[in-house]
Amino acid sequence: MSSNSENILIRVENIYKHFGGINALQDVSFTLHKGEIMALAGHNGAGKSVLVKIMGGIYKPDKGRILFNEKEVKLNSPRDAQERGYYVVPQELSIAKQLSAADNIFIGRNEFASKFSGVINKKYIYEEAQKLLKEYFNIEIDPFTPAGELDTVTQRLIQVVRCLSAGAKVIVFDETTAGLSHTERDILFQHIRLLADKGIGIIFISHIISEMMEICDKITVLRGGKLIGVEEIKSLTSARIIEMIAGKDLNLNVSEKSPLSNEIVFSVRNLSSKNRSLSDINFEVRKGEIIGIYGLRDQGQTLLMETIFGASKKGTGELELEGKKININSPVDALKNGIVYLPNRGMKTVFPTKSIIENLIVETSNFADKNWFIKDKYEQEFTKEAVKTFGVRGYSSLHNRLDSLSGGNMQKVLIARAMMLNPKVLMFTEPTEGIDIGAKTEVKQLILQAASQGKGIIIVTTEIDDIIELCHRTIIIRDRKLRAIIDSTEETKNLIIEKSTG
């Protein structure tokens, strides 16, 4: 890949951006060449999103220049940037699942509609979709297939083809691997490399160091709105990348795993969901043990958590807590028995427009006396101590809305809420998804701390590094059945992946 000026797709020079009294970007420069895969890295709040939005015409810089193909431009809207070939594939799937793949690719493209009737030329978009999928990704599917019937990676690629069909030269992948299994990421990465081979410039945003090192040619690091450096990935170690991002050497191996007790705190015996879509699950969790649950997407991992917690109906099987059989028919039953579940952050988990304090007490208040409201000064003092203990930062008052916090701090609020219930068993789904490296380390430390207190921990995650770092053993779920239980060590990483894929 040449670095000659004729190969430069986009360049920003000495960009400044202020929001009120906050310096979002200070003297930041960025360059992307044809066929280059550039990681854009930094903590939440480092300035990545602001830079992406300035290049995309959403924000105007206070100072500095933007050049496409070495020609200075003034971007007044996202359309201005798109006309120059700049597109973003967001973390959230923006797919109309009931529409066909072809319709999703050409949605909103009036040039394919008849000037007289307004009807889309279906034959043309069918052939064009087929051609683009074959040309860029060597994929052969029926473009009239409803998008919802396609696998997750292909749905992602439909978003990409939508950009390519409109003339994309630069594509930003913004946390687009979140929630994908290891195998799905490998497939997506193969297709991203195919794009780069065809001269498309890729900006790759992720909080996962191993992903950047695997797929990217270079890395641009921002910290506190300032450019820390631009380096060739092959010349860096993961420790050096972490140091660039965090400003200090954060040790991802946050602690030695706690020594295991022989005491069984929780047992699952012959568990099946009501319709047997999940069947015959057996495992035990020892005191202080962290169990990982790993598998491809939608293999039954979340259903297992919901069935244990009483959020999905159990068919057959038994649960034992500290050697005694327990009956769980609802989440209230689970909470009464000391079993707490934190799904991945979303509407099932948080009340984003409610205050921090309301989110902290919702389970304790509802569970204890069905009273949503903050009762007295004691409760406020109690929650104040909780956020201090669990390192929640970025707020001026506990009455600030929860969604005013970063993803990492929101996750710490949820862990604080769970720990306020003094659980015996604590279950998570994707506890570190979508949060920056510093916050990941802090969340992992909180999980390890909970295990050191003798609690049984169960974690559903697609992050193989989280499994290796945190977990004593890994349960492999495939086709909604337990396929293996493996010790979680670096030496067994490939075995864990192999067992999950069959």
pLDDT(462) > 90: no
Contact between 448 and 481 under an 8 Å Cβ cutoff? The reply is no
368 pLDDT band (50/70/90 cuts)? very low
* Nearest one of 224, 184, 265 to 438, comparing CA atoms: 224
pLDDT given at position 254? 47
Reported as a single tens digit per residue, the pLDDT across 27-50 is 999 999 999 999 999 887 789 999
pLDDT in tens, 352-367: 888 888 888 776 555 4
- Tell the residue number behind the tokens 């028995």, with chain if given: 337
Task: Describe the strand order of the beta sheet including 314-321 as a list of residue ranges.
Answer: 281-286, 264-273, 314-321, 324-326
Give the per-residue pLDDT at 367.
47
Give the pLDDT score at 112: 58
Quick one: average pLDDT of 383-395? 86
140-179 in b/e burial notation, b at 16+ Cβ within 10 A? ebebeeebeebebbbbbbbbbbbbbbeebbbbbbbbbbbb
Domain range list for the chain:
5-246, 264-501
Q: Give the contacts of 369 (CB within 8 A, at least 6 positions apart).
A: none
Tens-place pLDDT, residues 318-348: 999 999 999 999 999 999 999 999 988 665 6
CATH code for the part of the protein at 5-246: 3.40.50.300
Q: What percent of the chain has pLDDT over 70?
A: 90
Which of 120-134, 316-330, 402-416, 486-500 tops mean pLDDT?
A: 316-330
pLDDT of residue 256: 66
- pLDDT tens-digit map of 115-155: 544 556 788 888 989 999 999 998 889 999 999 999 889 99
Whose structure tokens read 């295991």? 260
| Selected residue with higher pLDDT from 20 and 146 | 146
Q: Look at residue 205 and tell me whether its pLDDT is greater than 60.
A: yes
- How is 444-464 classified by DSSP, letter by letter? HHHHHHHHHTT-EEEEE-S-H
Q: What is the mean pLDDT of residues 217-234?
A: 95
Q: pLDDT confidence of 91, banded at 50, 70, 90? A: confident
State yes or no: pLDDT of 305 exceeds 90: yes
Cα separation, 196 vs 170, in Å, equals 10
The amino acid sitting at 381 is E
* Structure confidence at residue 417 (pLDDT): 87
Identical fold for domains 5-246 and 264-501, yes or no, is yes
Q: Would you tell me how many other CB atoms lie within 10 Å of the CB of residue 28? A: 23
Residue 118 burial by CB count (10 A; 0-12/13-18/19+): exposed, middle or buried? exposed
pLDDT at 255: 53
Q: What is the pLDDT of residues 242-295, one digit of tens each?
A: 889 877 655 545 456 777 788 999 999 999 988 778 888 999 999 999 999 998
Distance, CA of 172 to CA of 158 (rounded, Å): 15
H runs (alpha helix) in 377-485 = 377-389, 407-419, 437-452, 464-470
Task: Note whether 144 and 124 are within 8 A (CB).
Answer: no
- Residue 289 has a pLDDT of 96
Count Cβ neighbours within 10 Å for each residue of 335-358 and write b for 16 or more, e otherwise: bebbbbbbbbbeeebbeeebbbbb
pLDDT over 60 at 228, yes or no: yes
Whether the pLDDT of residue 1 is over 70: the answer is no
* Tokens linked to 104: 């999703």
Q: What is the mean pLDDT of residues 69-85?
A: 96
Q: Which tops the pLDDT comparison, 220 or 278?
A: 220
In the chain, % of residues over pLDDT 90: 53
Nearest partner of 315 among 91, 480, 74, judged by Cα = 480
Q: How far is the CA of 229 from the CAs of 28, 39, 53, 223, in angstroms?
A: 10, 12, 20, 10
Distance CA 215, CA 180 (A): 16
Residue that the structure tokens 């043990």 belong to: 289
Distance from CA of residue 220 to its chain's centroid? 20
d(C-alpha 348, C-alpha 367), whole Å = 16
- Please state the rounded mean pLDDT for residues 177-182: 79
Q: Residue 87 in contact with residue 168, Cβ under 8 Å?
A: yes
Whether the per-residue pLDDT at 3 is higher than 60: the answer is no
What are 117's two structure tokens?
């009737």
Q: Which CATH superfamily is domain 264-501 in?
A: P-loop containing nucleotide triphosphate hydrolases (3.40.50.300)
